[in-house]
């Protein structure tokens, strides 16, 4: 809703700027016509009144032909406006186009002002407005500043008119009656002031627009940050919830399976203790039942544990699960991961499979996250009853192994299976895990 409001405000502002610009174009056209026209007509009047000699004695340089003054001023000005419009239309056509248009505008501005004998310097404002609108970055601001000062200096009659041998407007005005002179001077000064007012308005609108745009972006940024923060909170909460749910499930599971079985076993053992002297035969039967309950309990426990295993391992074979996991990791990080398995089929006990899966997963994650590797090689091989997993990468390696890399965790997992873990830096980082597999033992 807020963004919509900002946008519609922007539209109307843009419209005002466009209107202001057109007003500036038309106003300056009027001024150029007034100044050039008064100069041209003045010459004709002076000739008609036979005051040419006196006029020549008054000035320091011969004026252009009356027709030339008129044509050059109007043509120069029209070209300037044309370039100014093209500059707006081609705003996004790149640096070079903008540079040429700006240079052209400056040239035409100076040219037209000289054609007007520097008797009107308001055209600079038009060019300055275009410069300000097109400027980007702080270095350009510096260039812009220099350009504005330079332009203003060049076209200022009081500063440079003397060196350029320009004819002051007052000299031309001598061709008119005093009241006409006053009227022309007044009109020019009003028009010039209006031009200045329009320019200031234009600049205010432009700067205001820029300010509003910046404010809007800042606003959006703040909103984004807020959303991010909330998202993080949700994530933490969700994790907590999941953990809680898992704990509850475990508690229930333990209660339902182990608790149930142990209760039965405890009760059965108590019965056996009472019965053993009276009827060893009955006790024997009783113990068999207890054994049955214990076995059933164990099955239940196994089923529960199975539910805690990683998804991929639960659904897929170990090799497929590893390949899938590596593919996902590779796709996410754009690292090239090679997996060489020399042990076929890759089927072990569940606890062994899980440790293998976890070791590969952890090592790969480390290589990508900490080593910034883009090439990782994983190989699994066997020697006697030892299964060896080698994970090598071409990342930055590390001089000193820090905590939190998950190595400790891996070591713990491996030690449960009486395995070992070795690692170090050598053109990247490498990890070697060795696990004594219970080969030939039956597994489910």
Partner 1 sequence: MKEQDSEGNGFMRYGEKRMIWIPAVIGILLLSIAGGCICYSLWEKRQGTVLRFGMIAGSYWDVPTGNCYEVVDTAIRRFEEKHPGVRVEYVSGILKEDYSEWLAEQILLGEEPDVFMIPAGELDMLASLGVLKNLESLIEKDKEFESGNYYPGAYRYGNIRDIQYALPYESVPTLMFVNKTLLDREGIDMPGKDWTWEEFLAVSRQITRDADGDGLVDQFGCFDYGWKEAVNSNGIELFEKNGITSHFADSRVEAAIRFVRDLNEINEGYAVSAREFDQGKVAFRPFAFSEYRTYKPYPWRIKKYSDFEWDCIKLPAGPEGTGRSGLDTLLMGIGSRTGQEALAWEFIKELCYEEETQLHLLEASQGMPALRGAVESPLLQQVLGNDIPGNNNMNVEVIRQVMEEAVEAPNFRRYPAAMNLADGEISRMVNGGRSIDSGLLKLQREINGLLRQ
Q: Which residues bind partner 1 (CB under 8 A)?
A: 7, 10-11, 14-15, 18, 22, 25, 43-44, 46-47, 50, 52-53, 55-57, 59-68, 71, 74-75, 78-79, 81-82, 85-86, 88-89, 91-92, 165, 217
* CA angle centred on 314, ends 349 and 358, rounded to 5°: 65
Burial class (CB in 10 A: 0-12, 13-18, 19+), 397: middle
Could you check whether the bond before residue 418 is cis, i.e. omega within 30 degrees of 0?
no
What are residue 434's DSSP bridge partners?
Answer: 388, 420
Tell me, letter by letter, the H, E, C secondary structure of 86-154.
HHHHCCCCCHHHHHHHHHHHHHHHHHHHHHCCCCCCCHHHHHHHHHHHHCCHHHHHHHHHHHHHHHHHH
Min dist CB 155 to partner 1, Å, is: 21
Min dist CB 84 to partner 1, Å, is: 9
Min dist CB 160 to partner 1, Å, is: 18
Q: Which residue's CB is nearer to partner 1, number 42 or number 113?
A: 42
Alpha-carbon span 295 to 261, nearest angstrom: 9
Q: Which residue's CB is nearer to partner 1, number 228 or number 342?
A: 228
Q: Which residue's CB is nearer to partner 1, number 55 or number 339?
A: 55
Q: Which residue's CB is nearer to partner 1, number 91 or number 243?
A: 91
303 close to 350: Cβ distance less than 8 angstroms: no
DSSP tag of 439: T
Q: Which residue's CB is nearer to partner 1, number 60 or number 324?
A: 60
* CA angle centred on 204, ends 200 and 207, rounded to 5°: 135
Min dist CB 128 to partner 1, Å, is: 19
Min dist CB 200 to partner 1, Å, is: 21
Q: Which residue's CB is nearer to partner 1, number 129 or number 435?
A: 129
428 close to 407: Cβ distance less than 8 angstroms: no
Q: Which residue's CB is nearer to partner 1, number 219 or number 263?
A: 219
Q: Which residue's CB is nearer to partner 1, number 102 or number 286?
A: 102
Min dist CB 196 to partner 1, Å, is: 22
Write out the two tokens for 436. 């004594």
Q: Which residue's CB is nearer to partner 1, number 15 or number 249?
A: 15
Q: Which residue's CB is nearer to partner 1, number 60 or number 307?
A: 60
Alpha-carbon span 135 to 126, nearest angstrom: 14
Write out the two tokens for 55. 């006029």
Min dist CB 81 to partner 1, Å, is: 6
2-48 vs 123-134: helix crossing angle, rounded to 10 = 160
280-308 vs 178-254: helix crossing angle, rounded to 10 = 170
Min dist CB 11 to partner 1, Å, is: 7
359 close to 318: Cβ distance less than 8 angstroms: no
CA 263 to chain centroid: 62
Min dist CB 159 to partner 1, Å, is: 22
Burial class (CB in 10 A: 0-12, 13-18, 19+), 418: exposed
Burial 178-208 (b: 16+ CB within 10 A, else e): eeebeebeeebeebbebbeebbeebbebbee
Min dist CB 249 to partner 1, Å, is: 44
422 close to 431: Cβ distance less than 8 angstroms: yes
């Amino acid at each position: 809703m807020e963004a919509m409001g900002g946008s519609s405000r922007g539209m109307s502002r843009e419209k005002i700027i466009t209107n202001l610009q057109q007003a500036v174009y038309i106003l300056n056209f009027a001024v150029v016509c007034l100044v050039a026209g008064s100069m041209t007509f003045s010459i004709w009047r002076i000739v008609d009144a036979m005051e040419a000699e006196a006029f020549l004695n008054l000035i320091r340089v011969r004026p252009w032909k009356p027709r030339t003054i008129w044509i050059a001023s109007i043509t120069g000005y029209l070209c300037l406006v044309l370039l100014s419009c093209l500059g707006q239309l081609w705003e996004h056509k790149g640096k070079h186009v903008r540079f040429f248009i700006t240079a052209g505008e400056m040239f035409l501005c100076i040219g037209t002002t000289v054609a007007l004998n520097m008797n009107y310097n308001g055209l600079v404002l038009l060019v300055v407005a275009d410069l300000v609108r097109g400027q980007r970055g702080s270095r350009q601001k510096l260039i812009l500043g220099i350009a504005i000062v330079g332009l203003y200096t060049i076209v200022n009659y009081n500063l440079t008119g003397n060196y350029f041998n320009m004819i002051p407007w007052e000299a031309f005005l001598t061709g008119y009656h005093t009241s006409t002179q006053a009227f022309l001077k007044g009109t020019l000064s009003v028009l010039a002031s209006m031009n200045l007012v329009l320019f200031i308005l234009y600049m205010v609108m432009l700067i205001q627009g820029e300010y509003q745009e910046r404010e809007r972006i800042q606003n959006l940024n703040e909103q984004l940050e807020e959303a991010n923060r909330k998202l993080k909170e949700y994530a933490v909460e969700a994790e907590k919830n999941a953990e809680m749910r898992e704990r509850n499930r475990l508690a229930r599971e333990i209660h339902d399976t182990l608790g149930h079985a142990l209760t039965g076993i405890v009760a059965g053992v108590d019965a056996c203790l009472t019965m053993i002297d009276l009827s060893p035969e009955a006790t024997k039967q009783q113990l068999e039942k207890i054994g049955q309950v214990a076995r059933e309990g164990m099955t239940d426990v196994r089923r529960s544990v199975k539910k805690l295993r990683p998804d991929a391992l639960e659904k897929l074979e170990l090799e497929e699960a590893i390949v899938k996991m590596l593919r996902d990791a590779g796709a996410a990080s754009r690292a090239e991961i090679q997996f060489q398995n020399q042990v076929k089929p890759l089927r072990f006990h569940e606890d062994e499979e899980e440790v293998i899966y976890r070791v590969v997963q952890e090592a790969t994650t480390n290589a990508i996250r900490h080593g910034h590797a883009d090439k990782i090689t994983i190989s699994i091989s066997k020697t006697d009853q030892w299964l060896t997993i080698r994970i090598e990468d071409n990342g930055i390696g590390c001089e000193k192994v820090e905590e939190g890399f998950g190595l400790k965790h891996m070591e713990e997992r491996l030690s449960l299976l009486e395995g070992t873990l070795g690692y170090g830096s050598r053109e990247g980082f490498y990890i070697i895990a060795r696990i004594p597999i219970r080969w030939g033992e039956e597994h489910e």
